[in-house]
Chains A and B, each alone.
Chain A
């Protein structure tokens, strides 16, 4: 069974540039999550999707971050424009539903903003 796939694995950009991350969840998983993990800290939820609907985006900085999940499968997270403080690892995860079953994580995208 294929796991959660994320790309790119690494991204280096200059501040004020746009950047996008892509996530393909496990087949059949209805719930998709985007987390941001700063160096040496635990992941923090940015947004959660149930199928194609964003059901929790309270922690998403909406002035510069946007996300979409077309057709309730793949998802894209975008930052425009990027700031130095956006340097972090962006993790995607999926689960069958939004209940209490476990989450499966991708390997993340490490973003460096110079």
Chain B
């Protein structure tokens, strides 16, 4: 069965600095998608970034980028120039076909 593990329950970063959130996953599939979602106190899941497993190039979206290591089954999220609005819970997720499986989440605190 596929699993997603986020080993950092909480992280903090100074405003304007860079932070990296870790994620590992386990699967026997070769074709799948990986996601990072942000969940602010409003509870709505917001897609931050998506990575297709067959693409070697790491995905980037403005200040957000990933380090995708397929062989190591690692998928970390880097947030550059952190802003106060980045404070939220971040979830790593894996998808192959219909099911989206989430990790336990990392709470990110941004200090002014």
Contacts and interface: CB of A to CB of B under 8 A. Distances in A.
Same complex origin of A and B? yes
Interface of A: 31, 33, 40-45, 48, 50, 55-56, 89, 91, 93, 98-100, 102-103, 105-108, 110
B100 interface: yes
Nearest to A100: B33
Contacts of A107: 42-44
The size bracket of the interface on B is 20 to 34
Nearest to A43: B102
B21 to A, nearest CB: 13
Contact of B97 (A33, A44, A98): A98
Contacts, number: 57
A48 B97 CA distance: 12
B105 A105 contact: no
Interface of B: 4, 32-33, 35, 42-47, 50, 52, 91, 93, 95-105
Contacts of B35: 102
Contacts of B91: 42-43
A33 B46 CA distance: 16
A20 B105 CA distance: 27
A89 to B, nearest CB: 6
Contact of B102 (A44, A56, A108): A44
A100 B104 contact: no
Nearest to A44: B102
Contacts of A56: 98-99
The 7 A-B pairs of least Cβ separation, nearest first, read: A42-B102, A105-B45, A98-B98, A100-B33, A108-B43, A107-B44, A43-B102
B67 to A, nearest CB: 20
